[in-house]
Amino acid sequence: MDWLTDDQRALRDMAATFARKELEPIANQIDIDEHTPDELVAKAAELGLYGLYTSQEYGGSGADLVSVCLVSEELAKASPAYAGMLTVQMVLCPKTVEILGTEEQKQRILPKSASGERLLAYSQSEPAGAANIGSHLTKVAPDGNGYRIDGSKLFCTQGTAGTWLVMAKSRDRQGNEGYGCFIVEREDEGFEIAPHENKLGWRGTNTGPISFNNVRLEDDDILGDILTGGFSHRAANQANLLAHVATSIGCAQGLFDKTLDYVQQRRLYGKDMAELQPVGYWLAESHAKIAACRSLLYDTVRQFEAGTVAPEGGNICKAYIGETMFDVCVKLVQMWGGSGIMNSTGVNRYMRDARAKCVAEGASEMHYAIIANQLLHGQPTLVPKTIVKSAT
Ligand SMILES: Cc1cc2nc3c(=O)[nH]c(=O)nc-3n(C[C@H](O)[C@H](O)[C@H](O)COP(=O)(O)OP(=O)(O)OC[C@H]3O[C@@H](n4cnc5c(N)ncnc54)[C@H](O)[C@@H]3O)c2cc1C
């Protein structure tokens, strides 16, 4: 990575220091307690992490996606769960607002999210399947001089967020139907955030169901076109996928670094453990896979920045790198023997977080389905073309 600029290196080093000093010492406790301390959020805010990818005119630092991925990777070496949650707040949510929002909406939402004062969450998944939006039941319809939203969502991360970006089936005043993106505030009457779920990985991030019972929305709570906002912020989704993939690589690298130390210290049967087969082979294979995946990711990120990325580039990274890094984590955990199975060592959380990463932001198979759609039909999406229905 000798092509990094001085600014990119500086951000990476800042994140590495934060990860080592602030995150690593509490990362295992976050996993055990299923709770991220408020102080950590405050410290991340102080460093400007929430506003890293937000434009400067809206209170962020306007860093490029390479920097965002470097930071995400460093944080994930210590806590893949925390880093995964951060990409949603650092990339997906603010970029969605920047793409779809009016000037008033951007000024209302982004400076507060960049400073960490009011965190954002993104909600799409429903019981009928996260990406199966044609079957989603949450609906926005005209109501008097405004609108109302009714329904429920699943698996929403960042239950402590103040402002929620909610994707939902929509109907405009002319009776046309589509899938929009809506702003719901934590305090809105009829909006309920249920207690978070106990989960395999990404523990410490509050993920759970939310529901809307006749929640009132005004015109300025609609982000973008009411009929298409829910699927017309692809650049935000793609950028977020790449940052998310950076956390998969950081996850495997963090566990690899710990495992290399462990293997070099441990003696078995009177010799260095690293001399046992297949330990040395697995180490070399893991190192090679991480290095290859990192090259693929940053190559894709640079193409994304240059506007030359293939339509399915982010999906390839998400599916291929996510699964490869999980496989790497499984082998690395195995090298720890019983210590890898004990939660107290903080080893197996990497493997669990790596698995969660293969489902969050879309299951690997769904991303392969998108890649197939692009190859076979020239359409890098699962969104049914019929989702927008004219009233006439
Ligand atoms: C830790 C975590 C955090 C999350 N945070 C959020 C959040 O903040 N906001 C939010 O909206 N959602 C969130 N999700 C939900 C996540 O996006 C979905 O779980 C994911 O997209 C899979 O959707 P599903 O659970 O509905 O599985 P389903 O759609 O029911 O899919 C089940 C399985 O079927 C296969 N499959 C699915 N689709 C296809 C396809 N098209 N082609 C081939 N095979 C397929 C896959 O193997 C998949 O695992 C989160 C999930 C996790 C695990």
Instruction: Report whether 23 contacts 254 (CB < 8 A).
Output: no
**What pLDDT shows up at residue 385?**
58
Instruction: Report whether 79 contacts 37 (CB < 8 A).
Output: no
Pocket of ligand 1 (CB under 6 A): 122-125, 129-132, 155-157, 202, 207, 356, 359-363, 365-366, 369, 382
Instruction: Report whether 329 contacts 350 (CB < 8 A).
Output: yes
Average pLDDT over residues 354-365: 97
| Higher pLDDT among residues 364 and 388, named by residue | 364
One-character DSSP codes across 91-158: IIHHHHHHHH--HHHHHHHHHHHHHTSS-EEEE---TT-SS-GGG---EEEEETTEEEEEEEEEEEE-
**What pLDDT shows up at residue 258?**
98
Average pLDDT over residues 269-289: 94
Residue 380 pLDDT level (bands cut at 50, 70, 90): confident
Would the pLDDT of 20 be above 70? yes
Average pLDDT over residues 175-198: 97
Would the pLDDT of 384 be above 60? no
Ligand 1 centroid to Cα of residue 126, in Å, is 9
Single pTM value for the model: 0.96
If 0-12 CB within 10 Å is exposed, 13-18 middle and 19+ buried, where does residue 244 land?
buried
- For residue 132, the ligand 1 atom closest to its alpha carbon is 29
Instruction: Classify residue 36 by its DSSP letter.
Output: -
Q: Which of 31, 179, 312, 359 to mutate to test the pocket of ligand 1 (most atoms within 8 A of CB)?
A: 359
- Cβ–Cβ contacts within 10 Å for residue 391, how many? 10
Would the pLDDT of 383 be above 70? no
Range scoring the smallest mean pLDDT among 99-103, 132-136, 242-246 = 132-136
Average pLDDT over residues 95-99: 98
- For residue 88, the ligand 1 atom closest to its alpha carbon is 8
Domains of the chain (ranges, CATH numbers): 6-118 (1.10.540.10), 122-230 (2.40.110.10), 234-377 (1.20.140.10)
Measured CA to CA in angstroms, residue 272 lies from 263, 280, 302 at distances of 8, 10, 41
